[in-house]
Chain A
Amino acid sequence: MKAIRNLLDKLRPTFSEGGKLSKLHSTFDAFETFLFVPNTVTRKGAHIRDCNDIKRVMIVVVVALLPALLFGMYNVGLQHFRAVGDAVAAASVWSCFWFGFLRMLPMIVVSYVVGLGIEFAAAQIRGHEVNEGFLVSGLLIPMIMPIDVPLWMVAVATAFAVIIGKEVFGGTGMNIFNPALLARAFVFFAYTPYISGEDVWTAGLLAGEGIDGYSGATPLTQLSENVHETLAHADVQSWFLGTIPGSIGETSTVAILIGAVILLWTGVASWRTMLSVFVGGYLMGLLFNLIGANEYMTMPAWYHLILGGFAFGAVFMATDPVTSAQTNVGKCIVGFLIGALAVMIRVVNPGYPEGMMLAILFMNALAPLVDHYVVQANINRRNKRLKLAK
């Protein structure tokens, strides 16, 4: 620790004003604050003493993502070995995990290198501090992709999300849409065959390595194609544990719930948003049960909550403090509508087996509007009270 501190202190004059590399000072600042708690002190105005800055908050989210990430790696291997019919390897936790780790590592590296590269370049050009929001987005992007998506698509999508989704709006904290979901939406609309269908969710199926008759369809795809058969053989336990095909990080509801506990315990994510997404999805499921027009609608409502990206979106995406609503009432409304819309898209729209991504992006766009009316309602209420008092 001491050695790093000394090294940084020795390098500081080179990067400070007048030094040789003074143009790169925001890069230097970024590394310094990444390694140590910044020593700047707020001097003016009311402020709360707290050692947490954005970097520390982001690290908590990364820690909360770890269970889902590690399980995702294991599941990648598990699905692959099942698909190629290698029962011995599928039974070994370590070989599954190692396979998944090796497949996943390049995606994480690509996402971080491209995203952070653009963030650093943008900060240098504008003379801003480097923002740390991408620490989380960079990990989320590979976690919501299918394992077999080509790496250059990850790179293009990340670049699109960071430039169009974030930098043009003014960088971290100013974006309208969740950058990680924007990256996924980009791949979804631009390279549809590589992020939908039956073969992309299991490593090796696109290359034709699977044994004859093996289907890599996710439960949601199966539901959208053949409800009766799927519900008759519903394996709720593995849906909940997450040993099913799907995007890398989204399958295991258990691992996501561990992350949710970490986020709620540290107070990083809003419990209002999280809870209301689940409530919204569940109530929408119950509503469909009441209508019961087809077999999909009669599916037990809580199945929706453990399938697909619902839990992952509710815990890690909908709670994004930048793109979600800012007021407490607004958070409840936005969360509720995300859950309800996601389930509605799943059941009603035959084109999209999963609706969580579109629901969250749509509500990201509406969140400022919801906030506006919540604030306005509060002003009106207080005006009325003022009038009565007169």
Chain B
Amino acid sequence: MNSKNMKYLFGPLNKNNPVIVQILGICSALAVTAQLKPAFVMAMSVTVVTAFSNLIMSALRKGIPDRIRIIVQLVVIAALVILVDQVLKAYVYDVSKQLSVYVGLIITNCIIMGRVEAFALGNKPWPSFLDGIGNGLGYGMILIVVAFFRELLGNGTLWGVSVIPASWYIQNGGFYANNGLMLLPPMALILVGLIIWIHRSRNKDLIEK
């Protein structure tokens, strides 16, 4: 893999992150991050959809008239999302239930349309595929970091397993209590804000004037 392709794949993990630099896909980042498991499944689903929609649209890019490209993009993305939805229902039914409408709403996730429009339509299939994977993983990374803190501090669990000793809780004579605010979407927004804060202070060139 040459350095350009490396940039497509790993750029979105840091300086070109879709969530914390381009501020895309915030809606689902707030909605599905109360627990680690759905956040992980969501991250995987979005990665698959971005990667393959980029690949397919890039392969088709010369044959599509410019005027109808959005419709074609939607058809491709919708087909992929339905596939993902069926797979989730078949293999991880409980998580699919938890994610509810947010799987279907991957269609409207700005990251996917954004990458297809901005990248896949002007690049060859292989770089487009890598770009899709990179952006999906960049999105998923933030989701998992946010979900880690929300589940740990809000529920005292990680991946559904309690990690905070039961004897710490006030009810059992300890001192600790779960932070209910963590389970509410506003706190996810604040956490994303804190991540952006840390990220910008480490990458000063990203700070807006």
- Cβ–Cβ contact B180 & A150, under 8 A: no
Known A-B contacts A150-B170, A168-B197; the reply to A192 vs B180 at CB < 8 A is: yes
Question: Cα distance A152–B177 when bound, in Å?
Answer: 10
Decide if A59 is an interface residue (CB 8 Å cutoff). Answer: no
Tell me the bound Cα distance from A156 to B182 in angstroms: 13
> Within 8 Å of chain A (Cβ to Cβ): is B163?
no
Q: Would A191 and B197 count as touching, CB distance under 8 A?
A: no
B64, CB-defined interface residue at 8 Å = no
Q: Is the interface of B mostly helix, strand, loop or mixed?
A: helix
**B179 and A190: CB pair below 8 A?**
yes
Q: Which B residues are CB-close (under 8 A) to A168?
A: 193, 197
Flag whether A194 is at the interface (Cβ < 8 A): yes
Asked whether B175 is an interface residue with its Cβ less than 8 Å from the other chain, the reply is: yes
**Shortest distance from the beta carbon of A80 to any chain B beta carbon, whole Å:** 20
Interface centre among B170, B181, B190, B193 (most CB of A within 10 A): B181
Q: How far is the CA of A186 from the CA of B177 in the complex (A)?
A: 14
Q: Is the pair A191, B180 in contact by a Cβ cutoff of 8 Å?
A: yes
Q: Are B181 and A186 in contact (CB under 8 A)?
A: yes
**B164 at interface, CB cutoff 8 A:** no
Considering the complex, which residues of chain A in the window 168-195 have a beta carbon less than 8 Å from any beta carbon of chain B?
168, 186, 189-194
* A150-B175, A164-B190 known; A190 vs B197 contact (CB < 8 Å): no
B184 within 8 A of A: yes
A153 to B181 Cα, complex, angstroms: 13
A164: B residues at CB distance < 8 A: 190
By a CB distance below 8 angstroms, the chain B residues around A150 are 170, 175, 177
B180 touches A190 (CB 8 A): yes
Given A150-B170, A194-B177; A189-B184 close (CB under 8 Å) = yes
- Tally B residues with Cβ within 8 Å of A: 11
Cβ–Cβ contact A189 & B170, under 8 A: no
Minimal Cβ-Cβ distance residue in B for A152: B175
Cα A191 to Cα B170 in complex, Å, equals 12
Interface of A is mostly: helix
B 192-207 binary contact with A (CB < 8 Å = 1; else 0)? 0100010000000000
Interface centre among A164, A189, A190, A194 (most CB of B within 10 A): A190
Q: List the B side residues contacting A153 at CB < 8 Å.
A: 177
Q: Chain B's nearest CB lies how many Å from the CB of A74?
A: 28
From A192, which residue of chain B is reached at the shortest CB distance? B180
When distances are taken between beta carbons in the complex, the residues of chain B under 8 Å from A190 are 179-182
When A150-B170, A168-B197 are in contact, do A191 and B179 touch as well, CB less than 8 Å?
Answer: yes
> How many Å from the CB of B11 to the closest CB on chain A?
27
> How far apart are B56's CB and chain A's nearest CB, in angstroms?
42
Cα distance, A164 to B180, chains bound together (Å):
17
Alpha-carbon distance between A189 and B182 when the two chains are bound, in angstroms: 9
| Docked-complex contact A189 and B181, CB < 8 angstroms | yes
* Contact mask for chain A residues 186-207; partner B; CB cutoff 8 A; 1 contact, 0 none: 1001111110000000000000
A268 to B181, CA, bound (A): 35
Chain A residues, Cβ within 8 Å of B197: 168
Q: Which residues of A from 136 to 155 have beta carbons under 8 Å from B?
A: 150, 152-153
Q: A29 → chain B, closest Cβ, in Å?
A: 25
Nearest-neighbour CB distance to chain A for B12, whole angstroms, equals 26
For the complex formed, measure the closest distance between the CB of B146 and the CB atoms of chain A, giving whole angstroms. 15
B173-188 interface with A by 8 A CB criterion = 175, 177, 179-182, 184
- Shortest B149–chain A CB gap in Å is 13
**A194 to B170 Cα, complex, angstroms:** 11
Q: How far is the CB of A239 from chain B (nearest CB, A)?
A: 31
Q: Which of chain B's residues has its CB closest to A150's CB?
A: B175
Q: Are A191 and B184 in contact (CB under 8 A)?
A: no
Cβ of B184: which chain A residues have Cβ within 8 Å of it? Answer: 189
CA distance A189 to B185 in the complex (A): 12
The distance in angstroms between the C-alpha atoms of A354 and B143, with both chains bound, is 36
Given A150-B170, A192-B180, A193-B177, list of 15 further CB < 8 A pairs?
A: A150-B175, A152-B175, A156-B179, A164-B190, A168-B193, A168-B197, A186-B181, A189-B180, A189-B181, A189-B184, A190-B179, A190-B181, A191-B177, A191-B179, A194-B177
Chain A interface residues toward B at CB < 8 A: 150, 152-153, 156, 164, 168, 186, 189-194
- A and B contact pairs by CB, cutoff 8 A, 11 listed: A150-B170, A150-B175, A150-B177, A156-B179, A164-B190, A186-B181, A189-B180, A189-B181, A189-B184, A190-B179, A194-B177
